[in-house]
């Protein structure tokens, strides 16, 4: 572990090189314009080259770089097809993979966390990882009572790498701007920084996962493996036997699979806060697994849920105002909507807004509730992103005037991430019915 400072310096250098790469490509683009290429041709070329370097760098690094890459991969459905199309495979890879940790290091961490006699309880441990993520990797093992278990071990030095990466990534807004079409990554990075300490402590993750496992123990559609043993950097849980992740369904699933797992995914997200007082706040496809039915069927199997390091703690469930405001937006006048938003602090008292523009701005988020079954799609999400991020759209200025209370920040990002997965799935789901059943205060009947 003596080479950690050297590795950290190398990681920082690679992240720091991203803005330099963008500057170089911009200069090259200027040269091409002087040589006769159109502005649009040059911009597209710069965007594609920047995207290639950005996604490749984020994919090859762990820590905060991969954490940001995973968050962006969920939102790729809202990015222009000409940019993200060539790199979709790389983005999808971020949802399931990372470079492996040596077996000897894994055993050192286990001894430090579970005691030198850890082998008397964990009687078998696979040498290679079964899965990997931004700050740890998972091995399959056998517990002393015969149960198959998943053993998640945090990379040594993951905390320092994560915090260092996030500090560096906070400076990359200019690099992201040309490929993310106005999306501001600063709030996303700031939120990742705030959650870092909690995600690095596997004992907190164990508490959350156990609560979810207990709450969904008898659910016919959702499977959450329970916790077996935990320490600050080691988490042992029951093994979840699954056929694939939602990433595979996104890549090649049938429409029946897309619709089925899209509906289960939606029901899980909206049912969780009332049952557990928490919202699973890391919605990327690698965390959601296809669990075959008793006959091995994967068309209408169950949905397995993993990774509870990031949760929004919502005592009492979703804020009741959330459902009420959605209902008002769907059924009442723009003036009623503005009044409701002001009452909950989303619009400050002295801020003047046009009610119709507010309704127009929020309509894309309300639209899925207006039909019995709504078909999510990449094209729909690209339209949403284009509207809320286009300075030429009259509704754009509304976003600058809205105030998102701190208690809604993680809910909002999880909502966007959830929409991203549904749009990648191209799923049709009874979204209005799900919200009516699970979101307090929501009713459009």
User: Percent of the chain, pLDDT > 70?
Assistant: 71
Question: What is the distance between the alpha carbons of residues 415 and 385, in angstroms, rounded to a whole number?
Answer: 14
Question: What is the distance between the alpha carbons of residues 76 and 80, in angstroms, rounded to a whole number?
Answer: 8
Interval 188-201 mean pLDDT = 73
pLDDT digits (tens, 9 = 90+) for 96-122: 445 678 888 999 999 999 999 999 999
Whether residue 394 is predicted with pLDDT greater than 50 in this model: the reply is: yes
* pLDDT value of position 277: 96
Whether residue 344 is predicted with pLDDT greater than 70 in this model: the reply is: yes
Interval 125-138 mean pLDDT = 82
Give whichever of 62-66, 83-87, 173-177, 252-256 has the largest mean pLDDT: 252-256
**226 vs 64 pLDDT, higher one:** 226
* pLDDT value of position 257: 97
**296 vs 267 pLDDT, higher one:** 267
Least confident of 13-17, 123-127, 184-188: 13-17
Interval 142-170 mean pLDDT = 84
Task: Give exposure, 183-211, as e/b (b: 16+ Cβ within 10 Å).
Answer: bebeebbebbbebbeebbbbebbbebbbb
**Token pair of 407 as six digits:** 């208690």
The SS3 call for residue 148 is strand
User: Percent of the chain, pLDDT > 90?
Assistant: 47
Whether residue 443 is predicted with pLDDT greater than 80 in this model: the reply is: yes
Whether residue 239 is predicted with pLDDT greater than 80 in this model: the reply is: yes
Confidence band (pLDDT; 50, 70, 90) for 159? confident
* pLDDT value of position 162: 72
Residue with tokens 């399959």: 140
Q: What is the mean pLDDT of the chain?
A: 80
pLDDT digits (tens, 9 = 90+) for 398-411: 887 888 887 887 89
Whether residue 294 is predicted with pLDDT greater than 70 in this model: the reply is: yes
Question: What is the distance between the alpha carbons of residues 12 and 228, in angstroms, rounded to a whole number?
Answer: 36
**416 vs 73 pLDDT, higher one:** 416
Confidence band (pLDDT; 50, 70, 90) for 202? very high
Whole-Å CA distances, 239 to 20, 122, 214: 44, 13, 16
Q: Please give the domain boundaries of the chain with CATH numbers for all domains.
A: 4-96+160-181 (no CATH), 103-158+197-238 (3.30.200.20), 320-438 (no CATH)
**376 vs 379 pLDDT, higher one:** 376
Whether residue 92 is predicted with pLDDT greater than 60 in this model: the reply is: no
* β-pair type (136-143, 148-154): antiparallel
Interval 338-350 mean pLDDT = 92
Q: How many helices (H) and strands (E) does the chain have?
A: 19, 14
Query: By C-alpha distance, which of 302, 273, 442 is closest to 368?
Result: 442
């Amino acid at each position: 572990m003596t080479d950690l400072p050297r590795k950290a310096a190398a990681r920082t250098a690679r992240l720091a090189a991203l803005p330099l790469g963008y500057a170089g490509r911009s200069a090259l683009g200027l040269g091409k314009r002087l040589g006769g290429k159109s502005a649009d041709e040059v911009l597209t070329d710069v965007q594609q080259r920047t995207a290639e370097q950005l996604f490749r760098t984020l994919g090859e690094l762990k820590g905060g770089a991969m954490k940001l890459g995973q968050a962006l991969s969920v939102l790729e459905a809202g990015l222009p097809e000409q940019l993200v199309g060539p790199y979709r495979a790389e983005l999808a890879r971020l949802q399931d993979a990372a470079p492996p940790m040596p077996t000897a290091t894994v055993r050192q961490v286990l001894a430090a966390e579970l005691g030198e006699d850890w082998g008397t309880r964990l009687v078998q441990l696979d040498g290679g990882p079964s899965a990997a993520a931004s700050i740890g990797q998972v091995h399959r093992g056998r517990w002393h009572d015969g149960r198959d278990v998943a053993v998640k071990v945090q990379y040594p030095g993951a905390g320092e790498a994560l915090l260092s990466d996030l500090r560096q990534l906070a400076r990359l807004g200019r690099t992201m701007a040309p490929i993310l079409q106005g999306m501001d990554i600063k709030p996303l990075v700031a939120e990742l920084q705030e959650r870092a300490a909690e995600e690095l402590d596997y004992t907190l993750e164990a508490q959350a996962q156990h609560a979810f496992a207990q709450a969904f123990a008898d659910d016919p559609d959702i499977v959450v493996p329970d916790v077996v043993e935990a320490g600050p950097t080691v988490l042992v849980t029951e093994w979840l036997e699954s056929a694939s992740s939602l990433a595979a369904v996104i890549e090649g699933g049938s429409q029946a699979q897309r619709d089925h797992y899209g509906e289960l995914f939606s029901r899980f997200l909206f049912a969780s806060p009332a049952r557990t007082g928490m919202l699973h706040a890391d919605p990327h496809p690698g965390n959601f697994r296809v669990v075959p039915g008793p006959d091995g069927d994967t068309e209408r199997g169950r949905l397995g849920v993993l990774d509870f390091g990031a949760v929004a703690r919502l005592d009492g469930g979703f804020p009741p105002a959330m459902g009420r405001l959605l209902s008002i937006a769907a059924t009442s006048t723009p003036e009623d909507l503005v009044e409701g938003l002001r009452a909950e602090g989303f619009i400050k008292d002295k801020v003047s807004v046009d009610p119709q523009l507010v309704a127009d701005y929020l309509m894309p988020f309300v639209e899925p509730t207006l039909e019995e079954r709504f078909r999510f799609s990449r094209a729909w999400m690209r339209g949403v992103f284009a509207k809320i991020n286009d300075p030429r759209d009259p509704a754009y200025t509304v976003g600058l005037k809205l105030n998102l209370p701190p208690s809604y920040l993680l809910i909002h990002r999880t909502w966007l991430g959830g929409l991203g997965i549904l749009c990648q799935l191209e799923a049709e789901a009874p979204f209005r019915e799900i919200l009516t059943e699970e979101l307090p205060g929501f009713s459009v009947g």
